[in-house]
Chain A
Amino acid sequence: MRRFVRESSLSIAFGLLFLAALAGQAVAGWKQVNAEQVAEGLGTVTLPQYLTSADFAVDVAENWQSEYLQFLLYLLLTVWLLQKGSPESKELHRAGRESPKDQKIGPYATEDSPRWARAGGWRTGVYSSSLALVMAAIFLASWLVQSVAGWAAYNETRLQRLQDPVGWGSYLVNADFWARTLQNWQSEFLAVGSMAVLSIYLRQRGSPESKPVGQPHHSTGVEG
């Protein structure tokens, strides 16, 4: 058990941070909604009602979709695009999907390679892109949830203003949907871009996300 905790401490720590932040978001969001309801002379909601509301669902989903889009694009773009000096980039001569030998697939797989890396054919093809496929699926699913929950939350606001609700199709081209979407996207792209550039010149001793402290700035694709 102790060994499991030590060897999985990264995922455990972020899992706990996620749960704590989600719980905090739930309470803060609930209080915020009720403050707005009272200010408008409307009824308040209980915490369980808030947790099953469109308001909470859209606030969660709009953040999830942008995070998984960030990882999806990061995975795909780092295959071909380079950043000299960054540990986030491959070495300058290694752009592209790389050779089967480099990737240890098919005949170059070892005994302890994943089964589908050894299998060849479509299985290896699918497994070779499995990370991006899952990230894409989660991104699309959470974006869909954002669109549905956002549509419902937007229509609730429209009714409060004595306006007719709009259809889901209309909401997909509405400023509210795209404002929520793009405000999240810009921060994700900025974060990844910042990391790629800052890590050229700055260091974090001991982190695999950083070059070793004494590594030259021009070294590319080297992690600590």
Chain B
Amino acid sequence: MSLPSRFRLLPLGALVLAASACGSSQDAPAREAAVQFYSAVADRDGAVACGLLAPETLDEVEQSAQRPCPQGLFDEGVRAVQDPAEVRVFGTMAQVRYRSETVFLTRFRDGWKVMAAGCTPAAAERYDCRIQGG
């Protein structure tokens, strides 16, 4: 016997609620933003790389380097890495892990931006990053 029509949406509703927790549909865009950022770093294209930074991260780079971001970015020791090994997305945040370091991204209306890069594990379960916003 099939469910009365008014009950058929209940299981779907529960699944939608659960599925909303999953960020798998954003894995590719987050990964692509990280790849574009590090490609720009590899090409020494500071303008493109800085265009992929979150606003607060860009401000932090310029304050720390005391230079405009396209030049200051490389003063902070950001270096190019390749071949992202793992992408984890939860809501508006993403973590892309490379062999030697990790990058954290956050989603804005106009796409994914790098919030922190050049990150390596530090104390208290946190990462220590070469550049980070906030």
Contacts and interface: CB of A to CB of B under 8 A. Distances in A.
Contacts of B16: 52
A157 B24 CA distance: 17
Interface stretch (A95-103, A106-114, A146-154): A146-154
Contacts of B107: 43
A152 B126 contact: no
Contacts of A40: 134
Interface in B19-41: 20-23
Interface residues of B, number: 34
A54 interface: yes
A156 B132 CA distance: 17
A68 to B, nearest CB: 13
Nearest to B110: A43
Q: What band does the interface of chain A fall in when counting residues whose beta carbon is under 8 Å from B?
A: 20 to 34
B91 A156 contact: yes
A152 B91 contact: yes
Contacts of A54: 20-21, 90-91
Interface string B99-127: 00000101111000101100100000111
B109 A145 contact: no
A149 B125 CA distance: 22
A43 B22 contact: no
B18 interface: yes
Contact of B92 (A42, A61, A151): A42
Interface of A: 37, 40-45, 52-57, 60-61, 141-142, 144-145, 148-149, 151-153, 155-156, 159-165
Given A149-B21, A162-B127, 6 more contacts: A41-B133, A54-B20, A57-B20, A145-B17, A162-B119, A162-B129
